[in-house]
Structure 1
């Protein structure tokens, strides 16, 4: 089991887009460790979010790291744009193109942390030959493209497999999809240390509730570490 501290990464996909910068400032103040930025192209996934220009405009709202999840294909032509728009780390999907190692190299060339995401039907074995080149593994616990979906239980075994593959390497193990206080403990027990949460934090889009929701998620996840 990972001994890295649990960190919470609210996904701004569930934020109120009419006041996106305000929402980013609110989750920063509420105790978010990382800001998770979901980028969707309407091709790789059946939805569209926003591009690098919008991301650059909200980058000024916080000093917290931007964890940028590119759900787009082809992905390589857009890595530089999101890097320059303020990403601290960029995660690409193993399924998004034929040359995963090249995509990782492109992220590294921009001086950013490199991550690889795997969809629910993708084996973590696709990471075996690049595990030494990345900083983050993202296990999708829903099929990407929409917020508010239910956690897929099989993701727990995939987290355990990913944790075993990571071993002692200083690599974050992130989980995204259907994460909330009700399942955070078993998710952390399976090895995840970076929890992405969208609707469980942003539901109702009331900033007054964000701190309590982030704390509830963190407390639920860290009980396994006690």
Structure 2
């Protein structure tokens, strides 16, 4: 499974609805939502009301990446707003298993996030309960950052952990600096979901989506 998830953090919010329709018509598979609270990361984005409003625009799955402290306080609101996937940072909550249970009990896919400096081994006790892992290939908080090459090694380590835990069904998502230059390499490593912001929304959106999808599917000619 190879899926492209444009991050609306890089979209033009004055025409957000139009740009969401553009990426959908171009062939995007998921809409990625970067939710920031100004505490876990030094930036503030948007909350459930914005998610609820754009839910009316598209039927594409919504993937909410919660970069917020105590995510358990807001999960219900985001689920009501219409998200289909929720990932959170384990160091942002005291009871990670409880948060996973909250998400999955509402028929929403649950994921956990690895920051660039977070070792893959931190997933050992929770890998049996989650649906996907989001590997951050930049430090979270802002769009437009450059890909940190060393994070690609995490994909390899994560796949080994998944095999050891007999959880090869877990999806691997990557977010940060994904573009046409590295998406094919990341795909060959085993990434399933590719979050792209500037690489989608800067320039011709349709051409960007088509080229990124060609790259992730191995069609480079």
- TM-score, length-scaled by structure 2: 0.94
In the alignment, what sits opposite 1:214?
209
Are 1:151 and 2:150 an aligned pair?
Answer: no
Q: How many corresponding residue pairs?
A: 217
Equivalent residue of 2:59, what SS?
coil
- The match for 1:42 is 38
In structure 2, the CA distance between the partners of 1:88 and 1:166, relative to structure 1 (3 Å rule), is: same
Match for residue 100 of structure 2?
Answer: 104
Contact 2:32 2:63 in 1 (8 A): yes
* Runs of 4+ with deviation above 6 angstroms: none
CA distance in 2, matches of 1:215, 1:224: 11
Residue 177 of structure 1 is matched in structure 2 by: 176
Aligned equivalents of 2:101, 2:109: Cα separation in 1: 10
- Confirm or deny: 8 A CA contact 1:11 1:36 kept in the other structure: yes
Deviation of 1:211 (Å): 2.0
In 1: Cα distance, 2:216 partner to 2:18 partner: 27
SS at match of 1:133: coil
Which residue of structure 2 aligns with residue 200 of structure 1?
199
Gaps of 5+ in 2: none
Unaligned runs of 5+ in 1: none
Write the deviation string for residues 115-136 of structure 1: whole angstroms up to 9, x where unpaired.
1111000011111111111111
- Looking at structure 2, the residues matched to 86 and 189 of structure 1 have their Cα atoms a distance apart, in angstroms, of 32
Contact 2:159 2:168 in 1 (8 A): no
Query: Is contact 2:146-2:176 (8 Å) kept?
Result: yes
Deviates more, 1:67-76 or 1:95-104: 95-104
- State the alpha-carbon separation in 1 of the partners of residues 213 and 161 from structure 2: 25
- Residue in structure 1 matching 2:136, options 130, 136, 140: 140
Deviations 1:76-129 (A, max 9, x none): 100100011000011111221221111111111222110111100001111111
Is it true that 1:29 corresponds to 2:25 in the alignment?
A: yes
Q: Distance in 1 between matches of 2:162 and 2:211?
A: 27
